[in-house]
Amino acid sequence: MSDMLLSTDGVARLRDALAAAGFTSAGIAERLGPVATAAVARNDFRAALRVTEDRDPLATLIRVFVCAQTEPVEAVAAALAPLDFADAFDAGLVEAAPGGGVRQGVDLEPYGDSWWVLSDVPSSARPGQPLRPDHVLGIGGASSTLVGAAVRRPVGTALDLGTGCGVQALHLATHAGSVTATDLSERALRFAATTAALSGQQWEMLRGDLVAPVRGRRFDLVVSNPPFVIGPGTTTHTYRDSGRAGDAVCAELAAAAAELLNEGGVMQFLANWEHVAGEDWGDRVAGWFDGTGLDAWVIQREVADPMTYVGLWLADANEDGDPARAAAWLDWFDANDVAAIGFGLVTLRRGGNDDPVVRVEDLRQQTQQPLGDQIAAWFDRQDFVRDADLLAARYRTAPGLQLQQEATLGDDGWAVDRQVLVMPSGLRWSEEVDPLVLALVSGADGQVPLRDQIALLAVAHEVAEEDLADAAGPIVAHLVERGIVEPVA
């Protein structure tokens, strides 16, 4: 285990203090009530401060670590007991506040039923104060996206590459026999080791650049929320800058995946990619997997223009008051013809196929969370499409599948202009279909093999059965891939 912020005994004492006070997700929610809890989520602490005026241990911990308040030393010392206040102070858990009293020195966040995550105090709690270069990021939107997207099937070995506060590793430990967590940052590893111990988990922890610390080893599942931010390749903050120019860090992870994965293993990472003027962004990203032999599914969830992107990331590190920095960053985008930046998720599988599937697509619609089960099912369906006799199989439509129609009223009544199949749950794909495909989908009741369905349709529409079967193959493969129709076992 890496060094921690506290000694092993200190961590045990801190855990005792937090548990005894009820400083858990459920305990805080109960103490604050729904109104104050909702307000806290909007960084409005007024209601939370009103219900914690007693300054009992739970109230004090909420005031310090949730509401970012300065509190009297005696109250904080009592809330952290049996951890010695001097030990907490030396470890940097709390620090002297300007003007007296103490305030949080780190972010200490109860997470799940029995976990606590340590990270640096977020930029929002210290407005105007630039983050330290090795700032350890807490659980944010991107972390939660990856937590939800990870395939949670039982595995032997799992790796969290760029563990930071350790949030991904915590989840991996719930379904992996062993967890390895790496980071370039010594500070991040210290925080992650403390998160692990405080949460009653044990991980192997290794320091180094990207895959270097685990070179030559293979895993069943690899997850990474890497420092994917696109720019000139300079590093000001380890949590977001990889030191590689453009989107090279994500291309590097993609290239390393085949050597990192056991047969059947899965690697998932969040990524940013360039939309270069005159170039198809999908071709660019698909090029990352050339020659890897991996099945790949890349989903683009958001696209930002450079101005918005730079503004967002500078604000994230409280650097937004630096116009020269923004200008230099934007100049780099201009010089490299970067018109926009895509954000999404890459899932790779070492499937051992001669003809791996590589799909790069937009998936911008709201989806049903968590995505992990949907992603696992997508790869299962790829296996079916690759291996099965599609014409011999029977299919049924996705539960709740809807048909939306647009029609124009003319002299002969309504003329249907457009028919769209809509999945109301799951990935919520919508798919425009022609009448023949609609007839095929409508007849998919799980009773009849596709071949027989096609024979009936060929007669009804007066087309050659062979031709219809040839045309139907790729269409059904696509509908299965999207889960609009499902094969019946």
Ligand X SMILES: C[S@@+](CC[C@H](N)C(=O)[O-])C[C@H]1O[C@@H](n2cnc3c(N)ncnc32)[C@H](O)[C@@H]1O
Binding of residue 222 to ligand X (CB under 6 A): no
Three-state DSSP at 443 gives: coil
239 lies in the site for ligand X, by CB under 6 A: yes
Q: Which two tokens stand for residue 306?
A: 């450079």
Nearer to ligand X, 24 or 143 (CB): 143
Interface residue with ligand X among 24, 60, 104, 163 (CB under 6 A) is 163
Q: Which of 429, 413, 409 is nearest to 421 (CA)?
A: 429
The answer to whether residue 194 forms part of the interface with ligand X (CB under 6 A) is no
In the DSSP assignment, the letter for residue 433 is: -
**Distance of alpha carbon 169 from alpha carbon 66, whole angstroms:** 23
Q: Which two tokens stand for residue 80?
A: 């952290």
Among 32, 83, 210, 371, binds ligand X (CB under 6 A): 210
Contacting residue, 188, 250, 285, 357, with ligand X by CB under 6 A: 188
**Would you give the DSSP letter of residue 79?**
H
Q: Taking CB under 6 A as the rule, does residue 453 contact ligand X? A: no
Q: Which residue from 4, 80, 155, 184 is in contact with ligand X, where contact means CB under 6 A?
A: 184
Helix (H, G, I), strand (E, B) or coil at 332: helix
46-54, 92-100, 178-186, 250-258 -> range binding ligand X (CB under 6 A): 178-186
- Output the DSSP codes for 368-395: PSP-HHHHHHHHHHHHHHHHS-TTT-EE
Binding mask 405-434 for ligand X (x = CB under 6 A): ------------------------------
| Interface with ligand X, residue 88, by CB under 6 A | no
Please select the residue that binds ligand X; options are 52, 123, 168, 195, rule is CB under 6 A: 168
Half-sphere exposure of 236 (CA within 13 A, CB side): 14
- Give me the least distance between CB of 149 and ligand X, in Å please: 11
310's tokens: 């730079």
Among residues 111 and 289, whose Cβ is nearest to ligand X?
Answer: 111
CA distances to 54, 336, 337, 464 from 277, rounded to whole Å, are: 59, 9, 6, 45
Does residue 209 bind ligand X (CB under 6 A)? Answer: yes
221 SS3 class? strand
Q: Spell out, one character per residue from 112 to 141, where the chain touches ligand X: x when CB under 6 A holds, - when not.
A: -------------------------x----
Strand order in the sheet with 445-449: 445-449, 394-397, 485-487
Structure tokens at 18: 């937090």
DSSP 8-state code for residue 28: H
Could you tell me the smallest distance in angstroms from the CB atom of residue 166 to ligand X? 7
The answer to whether 143 contacts ligand X (rule: CB under 6 A) is yes
Residue 460's alpha-carbon distances to 86, 390, 436, 466, 473, in angstroms, are: 84, 21, 10, 14, 19
- Residue 173 CA to residue 340 CA, distance in Å, equals 36
CA-nearest of 248, 480, 272 to 357 is 480
Q: Does 199 bind ligand X (CB under 6 A)?
A: no
Q: Which stretch binds ligand X (CB under 6 A): 9-17, 148-156, 237-245, 411-419?
A: 237-245
Q: What is the DSSP string of 105-117?
A: SSEEEEETTTEEE
- Strand pairing class (358-362; 219-224): unpaired
Buried b or exposed e, range 456-471, using 16+ CB within 10 angstroms: ebbeeeeeeeeebbee
Q: Which of 69, 104, 242, 347 binds ligand X (CB under 6 A)?
A: 242
**Is residue 344 near ligand X by the rule CB under 6 A?**
no
Binding part of the chain for ligand X, among 50-58, 235-243, 334-342, 379-387 by CB under 6 A, reads: 235-243
| Residue with Cβ nearer ligand X (162 or 356) | 162
* Residue the block writes with tokens 């070492």: 350
Q: Number of residues interacting with ligand X: please give it, by CB under 6 A.
A: 22
Using rule CB under 6 A, residue 183 touches ligand X? yes
CB of 123 to ligand X, least distance (A): 14
Cβ distance to ligand X smaller for residue 79 or 214? 214
Q: Which stretch binds ligand X (CB under 6 A): 181-189, 254-262, 451-459, 463-471?
A: 181-189
Contact window for ligand X (CB under 6 A) among 48-56, 158-166, 312-320, 480-488: 158-166
Q: Is 227 in the site for ligand X (CB under 6 A)?
A: yes
**Residues at the contact surface with ligand X, assessed by CB under 6 A:** 137, 143, 146, 162-165, 167-168, 182-185, 188, 209-210, 225-227, 238-239, 242
